[in-house]
Chains A and B, each alone.
Chain A
């Protein structure tokens, strides 16, 4: 496999490392403002007429050790022996997340399917159901990674494009086939739980109403303080929620907020918050979050055995981490980079949800507030 970096900014337009004569796949991540017109997509299509183009809007782009807001980060991949297939579905309502996942799964299923990378609308989706829909078709053994598109701290509209101009309410995915491709993955949070353990006493799907019989939103407002509470829902990302099934206490899931309804006192999360499960607030310290990112990168790097040629790492990290760390966000990107090595090109974005197999169980799931790292390479042909 060969890879090349590509970037775009308002002043300099497209700028590449070296001209790639043939490309099979281009990942691109940019701000909603940069992608919304569709011009950038058309320019990419002009440059790489034969490549699959998969991209989304973000809450910030990662390019090697840098995190930027207004530009586009892209990577151009050329495979020696790995067939690809792209699927794209619209998702009209979050309730159809599973159905949409199943359609993606059916479009990509194949006996030599080696892995899937998926990008989804970040607001009109129940990420847990989407993942469950895909895995129900292709099976749990196929590594499924990716993330939910972002919209900075605005939470208004997210865009996804798969061989088409990026649009809202879209899910796009690429499937990798054959035995040459190497896909590694890792996922870690680094958040620490704090405060009392609470019980989810009222919820419906991914909408949380009550914790310990009291409105969940009140708790967040109280912890954020008047000033920060104005920044809801984004501000709630500072305190992710760790939920846990009391029957599987070692299987923790971190959930992040997508929206709040002040009238109903409810909060909508990126995945399910089942009634009866326990819930605990989490908080992050810069060092621990960076250490989490390093851990995810280390797991992903382990999947690259036998790979020759270029490798690329796609980092999908949660917007919440960035909101908390501010300028020091770069610390986690650097920490991941240190684990991967300087020869592995890094690209990625800050998302509204991360998709990766669970570090402990191996089950593909939607994560929140994590750094997930997907490494892609190819064995010698």
Chain B
């Protein structure tokens, strides 16, 4: 019997026997329990199957999605590989890639082409050493493959990148870059840089050489001097010879730049021929050259070289059928005494050169410390002159010109003075040359013109004002408009202005200069020839322009008492002027006797201390107003 039934039977048993109703209830309830359990079991199993089935479907979907994604990825990878292949085999660099075990993984076509190898020789799986041995036999690897590999592989293993230039026996230069890669292998790229290197060398050469003469330029010159100075520090000596060609500009202007360039090339050739191989010839630009003489133990060796340079360049040059003669001036600075670094040596040699210019060209000169002092003084003057303009330190004095007929003041000459804060009054002869050289003369000249016109506007209407023009002013294209502007702003009639020029202005003899003077005359401005008789061709200058007035230089007036010549000259000039319809002014009249003489000789005006020194504008104004008062009183 089933143990449950035994239990049920026991439970339903009473002393009176088996309670059948109770037993029935127990058995029936057991059946119900059993049915319920079976239903639950069925239900849960079928639900579970359903759920698992759904899960299974989900999984299947997932698997098919993943499979599709994998296939997609695979085809992408395939396409990617094709692209990589195309990229690898069409790159200009050769490429090798090795895996972590040191075996070749990738070798592109360019590598094979670069070293003339065949795909059968270089197969995936071979080692770097294998490849290098093949290349050594083929003659494209000059080193020892074993040593190369023994050096490279440990360095790569330490994560170091290696960059090397390989000079191939056939003349090519290959740049090889080797980098370790993350998985433990390495990649190396080879680039043929032969052309690039040549171009770089050429660029480097161009950067350090003059394109016309192929001589070293300033950059290389400086390096050479630096190098030579190392020898100086060890007790040697060094000479820097700075030279330029006298009147090179004239060659350029008259024969054209082409011949000028030919001349520079020819000069370079001659210089190169003179110096030793250890010396340097460089072109600084324009017509300036520098020779660096190393091991210049004795100054006379340097003097000899300078002498030879001057002589060599003095010989005529035949340039495309033009015979050209030039001469060179050479300034010399010695290291260590004149300087211990390139800039200082070049500067001092240039100062020495400047020194020659002032006392005769075509020779050489050594630098002396006083030259430097003079240069410094001049530079200080330059600076002071520029600030004088800004600080309004210029002043005009006026010296009257007197009519010899009626002793009347006809004109006053404006004379420029500079009130230097330290040096006091500075005369034009001391600063005008510098002002001309540095270009401030035009600005100063304009100031003088405007001031003079403005002052003259205050004077009686029959008194003119005379203003000196420097040659550079006359050559300025703005001269006429500047004069018109000054007259306009002072409201001064043009016929009350005289401009004085020296003979040297006419030496330029250019059309533009004469046009400017004619234009001024056309306006009504008078033109005077100043300091007549001091130039070389005074009489011919009178032919070139119709001057209104001739001012006879003071040297002739001074000389009249002792020299018959002076007297004769004054007489002749006065006569000539009278015939040409010009006024003559005797300059520098200091005595009554001189006055009587010049009157007798036929001069029309005089100027000098006898009547008045140059005076301030206020003094002159007072003089004119007193004169006016006297006139009124008389009238």
Contacts and interface: CB of A to CB of B under 8 A. Distances in A.
Interface of A: 194-196, 222-225, 228, 238-239, 281, 283, 324, 326-328, 330
A239 B47 CA distance: 13
Contacts of A283: 40-41, 44
Contact of B29 (A196, A223, A239, A327): A327
A100 to B, nearest CB: 37
Interface string B53-68: 0010000000000000
A224 B42 CA distance: 11
A225 B8 CA distance: 30
Contact of B51 (A196, A224, A228): A196
Contacts, number: 42
B33 interface: yes
A72 B47 CA distance: 41
Contacts of B47: 195, 222-223
B2 to A, nearest CB: 10
Interface string B29-51: 11001000101110110011001
A121 B412 CA distance: 135
A238 B51 CA distance: 19
B26 interface: yes
A195 B8 CA distance: 35
Nearest to B47: A223
A223 B48 CA distance: 9
B52 interface: yes
Contacts of B376: none
Nearest to B8: A327
B37 A196 contact: no
A326 B55 contact: no
Contact of A238 (B26, B33, B40, B48): B40
B632 to A, nearest CB: 124
Interface centre among B8, B47, B52 (most CB of A within 10 A): B47
Nearest to A235: B40
A281 to B, nearest CB: 8
B274 to A, nearest CB: 94
B43 A330 contact: no
Contacts of B48: 194-196
A112 B50 CA distance: 56
A223 B44 CA distance: 6
Contacts of A281: 44
B427 interface: no
A225 B36 CA distance: 11
Interface centre among A228, A324, A327 (most CB of B within 10 A): A327
A327 B26 contact: yes
Interface centre among B4, B26, B30, B52 (most CB of A within 10 A): B4
B7 interface: yes
Nearest to B40: A238
Interface string B113-128: 0000000000000000
A225 B43 contact: yes
A359 B51 CA distance: 32
Contacts of B29: 326-327
Interface string B100-142: 0000000000000000000000000000000000000000000
A223 B43 contact: yes
Interface string B1-42: 000100110000000000000000010011001000101110
Given A195-B52, A196-B51, A196-B55, A327 B44 contact: no
The 6 closest A-B pairs by CB, nearest first: A326-B33, A195-B48, A327-B30, A196-B55, A196-B51, A225-B43
Given A326-B37, A327-B30, 16 more contacts: A195-B48, A196-B48, A196-B51, A223-B44, A224-B40, A225-B39, A225-B40, A225-B43, A238-B40, A283-B40, A326-B29, A326-B33, A327-B7, A327-B8, A328-B4, A328-B33
Contacts of B44: 194-195, 223, 239, 281, 283
Interface centre among B26, B37, B39, B55 (most CB of A within 10 A): B37
B52 A327 contact: no
Given A223-B44, A225-B43, A327-B30, A195 B4 contact: no
Nearest to A283: B44
30 contacts: A194-B44, A195-B47, A195-B51, A195-B52, A196-B48, A222-B47, A223-B43, A223-B44, A223-B47, A224-B40, A225-B39, A225-B43, A228-B40, A238-B40, A239-B44, A283-B40, A283-B41, A283-B44, A324-B37, A326-B29, A326-B30, A326-B33, A326-B37, A327-B4, A327-B8, A327-B30, A328-B4, A328-B30, A328-B33, A330-B7
A224 B36 CA distance: 11
Interface centre among A195, A224, A281, A324 (most CB of B within 10 A): A195
B50 to A, nearest CB: 10
A281 B47 CA distance: 12
Contact of B33 (A195, A222, A239, A327): A327
A324 B4 CA distance: 16
A326 B35 CA distance: 12
Nearest to A194: B48
Contacts of A225: 39-40, 43
Contacts of B7: 327, 330
B353 to A, nearest CB: 93
A354 B51 CA distance: 31
A327 B23 CA distance: 13
B549 to A, nearest CB: 118
Contacts of B55: 196
A183 to B, nearest CB: 32
Contacts of A330: 7
A97 B7 CA distance: 42
Contacts of B41: 283
A228 to B, nearest CB: 7
Contacts of B52: 195-196
A194 B49 CA distance: 10
Contacts of A327: 4, 7-8, 26, 29-30, 33
Contacts of B40: 224-225, 228, 238, 283
Nearest to B29: A327
Interface in B432-462: none
A285 to B, nearest CB: 8
Contacts of B26: 327
Nearest to B49: A195
Contacts of A328: 4, 30, 33
A196 B50 CA distance: 10
Contacts of A195: 44, 47-48, 51-52
A337 to B, nearest CB: 14
Nearest to B54: A196
Contacts of A228: 40
Nearest to A286: B37
Contacts of A222: 47
Contacts of A324: 37
A222 B50 CA distance: 12
A9 to B, nearest CB: 15
A224 B40 CA distance: 7
A327 B26 CA distance: 8
A141 B284 CA distance: 100
B51 to A, nearest CB: 6
A60 to B, nearest CB: 15
B340 to A, nearest CB: 80
B428 to A, nearest CB: 104
